[in-house]
Structure 1
Amino acid sequence: MTAAPASFQTGFALSPGVLVDAADAADVREAVRRAADRRLSVGVHATGHGLPGPVEGGMLIATHRMDGVTVDPERRSARVAAGTPWGRVIEAAAVHGLAPLNGSSPGVGAVSYTLGGGLGILAREFGYAADHVRSLDVVTADGVAREVTPTGEPDLFWGLRGGGHRLGVVTGLEIGLVPVARLYGGAVSYDGEHAAEVVRGYLEWTRTLPDTCTSSLSAMTYPDLPQVPQAVRGRYLVSVRIAYTGGAADGEALVAPLRTTAPVASDSLREMPYTESHTIHSDPPFPHAYYGDSAVLRDLDAVTAARVLELTGPKAPMMTVVQLNHLGGALAAPPAVAGAVPYRDAGFLLRLLSPLGGTDVAAVRSLYGEVTGLLAPRLMGRALNFSFGGGERTDGFHDPRTRERLAGLVSRYDPASLFGGPYGLSRDAR
């Protein structure tokens, strides 16, 4: 076995039989051909945020050295290499007053995130990141490097945008950028004793929002650790996070109802350059061990949502971070070119994540099962990009029709299941 490159996710070990530290697309082509000759399963590793679980054997292609971004301001596009983190794309685009459709963490690999759909902080206004892909460079299981566009390899173009890594190794892609240089955003936080009031007010508030406002609600007990800010250390807080591309004055009027929902513990809402958008969520920048899963929901009522927070709050058997993403808007609109991103008519996405330091994974799964059981009447499926450590489960990532079409593409482009082995769900996600 070979030691894999360092991962952001430290809870699950990767021990490939062969590690390829690729520097360019030629290295990837050669690696895929050798894997096919030796009948080795193939996985891809950029930053390691979304590892599916402990894996041994096969070939792992590390793409972290393939790190680069080139912006074309006139076309409002960027070419992004396989191992590039979102932070680099954000900085390069900002020089031209543009922004990518990135997620909340600048350290996540842009390519893997996009292949899984890409639910970002501007999602309700602009849709999924996958909908803004213009072309992809991919090495398929036959070792052939292909340029995939809506008119060249249209079936692959459909499947790669939302189907994840199952159809080949993407060595780079071209994405569209949006004309956003600044936004009004941040978080309003409340003491957890007001959780039921806050979630009720939040759900009512989302019914009135323009598509220019993307938001989520989070709830967690902050660990009592030195690296956690003193103001929140050890406290159970419920927060509403907001990204609004309108003006600050309109933003203040928009969030006014939130500030009367319950006593406010902290308020970081402000106008900011897009390069500071990661401060809205303030995801941990340091590697750590965690397990996570998700539930795509048709809708959600306040009573059920409050019960979810009760199950996962301070009385839960382990620390659990809850995030409820408000969907709709452009996410529900048909994209210009269809892709494999499922569940476009969903109303919310519930995400659960639990640190694993000394935590029993079986107990985490049991708690998550109780939560999803509660949500069963409105459950549509799971989100491919938000399954951390649950690699033994692949159900629910796509609706039956999309899953059937993806299976047909796999049969056509990877009949030997080169990319379907233990690394088949490897991805960067958050």
Structure 2
Amino acid sequence: MLVNDDIHALSSAVSGPVALPDSPEFAEETFAFNVATVHRPDVALGAADAHDVVAGVKWAAERRLPVSVQATGHGADSAINGGLLINTRRLQDVQIDPVRRTARVGAGVKWRTVLEASVPHGLVGLHGSSTDVGVVGYTVGGGLPVLGRAHGFAADHVRSMEIVTADGVLRRIDADADAELFALMCGGKGNFGIVTALEFSLFPIGEFYGGGIIYPGADAALILAAFRQWLPSLPDAASPSISLLRLPDMDFVPPPLRGQFVVHLRFAYLGNRGDGDALLAPMRKISTPLMDTAGPMDYLDVDQIHMDPADPLPFVSGGALLEDFGEDTVADLLEVAGDGSDCPLLLAEIRPFGGALSRDVGRPNAVSGRDAAFLLFLVGFNMPPVADASMASIRTVLTAMSPHSTGFTLVNFHGTPGDEADRARAWTPEVYDRMRAAKASYDPGNLLRFGHAITGVPPAG
């Protein structure tokens, strides 16, 4: 049990605020984008810089308190109870090097901030469907980009990172310095330390074509069949996805679509209008779209492709990697999540892999999924009166799709982590064994035990 002297020792060692559950600042320091997840640590530290993270970890280790970390809380799939929560949202340094085509960012930086600094130089980073997400948590979880088929996973292009390991040491690691730790942090989530800064490659952006087509949900079978047949015609420069959406009557939904079941095709393409229109033409002939926003796009408007909610919401999610999206797979998905089913989920999404997402990057990392063909991702509201139905429906859909699954997930799309066997599905067995050995080495006391954490075992021999 913490006493006043303990809290005083932490407050004296850091520059940022220290908040207890009865402090006015506590709610702000522990707030997650997923508002269904309410964190209840014993104490929260709003780290002002990397030195605060070091001091916080050392303080917790001396008292054998577990440590957790959060910046935006977009990946808050499970609640943190007890210990020290370190909030890194104040680490807002952004440095763009247009000559080396790199960015260096602090742990609290969101992708929107990176793009606002890099796009004027004709460069972009490999963000996901929403630029409101924090760079670090997304990237160390692998990072599935909007332009993934063109460039691969975000973790493939990390140059270096600064990380505070469980012994309270701030390390700069890369492919040469602490190479195994660096490899496992690129896709291994936060199992071995707290990242305070990340350096990664940027990519040239010229003409960009993006947007989406929204169709009536009643035509879902026709549209998904056409989508499956259309995919092989696309170049790696094109990254599509498609989702079944049950849109609520809420402000973040465009008025004409509120309360409807629809199919949403998303499309991002590194090219001009003529080529983009030609690639998208077969899908424009299918059904009668309710909305078509695809065309030349200012890259700073890239969030309009997926139209993810910008405001915090209560949600629950789950995912699986698929071997195929053939006729039987489509039929099984529609049976449990299509028109006429009792599925309450907000989203059932299919993201194709292929291209750079399926290629070996030539250096070790912990990203899984390169042998998969598709990602299935499910999201439902986690609030009364639909919370129980949403969680049950995710289980139902995943069970129905299990014959088509590889048996693995991506850690950022896994959903609430279960037991050890369930958590292991986010990595290949070979990578998971390496991670357990590294966990035993870098965090033998299992200080970092929250979120999608694993347990360590000593190396064999």
Shorter-chain TM-score range: over 0.9
* Coordinate RMSD, CA, aligned: 1.6
1:374 maps to 400
2:32 maps to 7
* Distance in structure 1 (CA, Å) of the matches to 2:35 and 2:414: 15
* Distance in structure 2 (CA, Å) of the matches to 1:291 and 1:390: 11
CA offsets per residue over residues 221-252 of structure 1, 9 Å max, x none?
Answer: 11123442211011111011000001110110
Within-5 A mapping of 1:391-430? 393-421=422-450, 424=453
Within-5 A mapping of 1:203-282? 203-282=228-307
Secondary structure of the residue aligned to 1:242 is strand
CA contact (8 A) 2:206 2:271 kept: no
Match of 1:387 among 370, 395, 414: 414
Bigger radius of gyration, 1 or 2? 2
CA offsets per residue over residues 140-195 of structure 1, 9 Å max, x none?
Answer: 01111111011110001110000000010000010100001441010011100100
Within-5 A mapping of 1:137-216? 137-216=162-241
* Distance in structure 2 (CA, Å) of the matches to 1:41 and 1:424: 12
1:423 offset after TM fit, Å? 7.5
Within-5 A mapping of 1:356-375? 356-359=382-385, 361-375=387-401
Give the gaps of 5 or more residues in structure 1.
426-430
Alignment of 1:16 with 2:41, yes or no, is yes
1:68 maps to 93
Match of 1:344 among 326, 347, 370: 370
Alignment of 1:79 with 2:108, yes or no, is no
Cα–Cα, structure 1 residues 387 and 361, in superposed 2: closer, same or farther, change >3 Å? farther
Which amino acid letter does the alignment assign opposite residue 112 of structure 2? Answer: G
Match of 1:37 among 58, 62, 71: 62
Q: What percent identity do the matched residue pairs reach?
A: 37
Secondary structure of the residue aligned to 2:281 is helix
**Runs of 4+ more than 6 Å apart:** none
* Distance in structure 2 (CA, Å) of the matches to 1:228 and 1:263: 20
Alignment of 1:288 with 2:313, yes or no, is yes
Which amino acid letter does the alignment assign opposite residue 112 of structure 1? Answer: G
Give the gaps of 5 or more residues in structure 2.
1-19, 455-461
CA offsets per residue over residues 410-429 of structure 1, 9 Å max, x none?
Answer: 1111111111246748xxxx
1:91 offset after TM fit, Å? 0.8
* Distance in structure 2 (CA, Å) of the matches to 1:408 and 1:248: 50
Count residues in correspondence: 425
CA offsets per residue over residues 116-135 of structure 1, 9 Å max, x none?
Answer: 00001000000000011000
- TM-score, scaled relative to structure 2: 0.89
CA contact (8 A) 2:240 2:267 kept: yes
Secondary structure of the residue aligned to 1:16 is coil
1:308 offset after TM fit, Å? 1.3
1:394 offset after TM fit, Å? 1.8
Secondary structure of the residue aligned to 1:264 is coil
* Distance in structure 2 (CA, Å) of the matches to 1:74 and 1:163: 30
- TM-score, scaled relative to structure 1: 0.95
1:309 maps to 334
Secondary structure of the residue aligned to 2:124 is coil
Q: Which has the higher contact order (CA 8 A, sep 6+)?
A: 1
- More displaced stretch, 278-287 vs 180-189: 180-189
- More displaced stretch, 280-289 vs 293-302: 293-302
Alignment of 1:134 with 2:159, yes or no, is yes
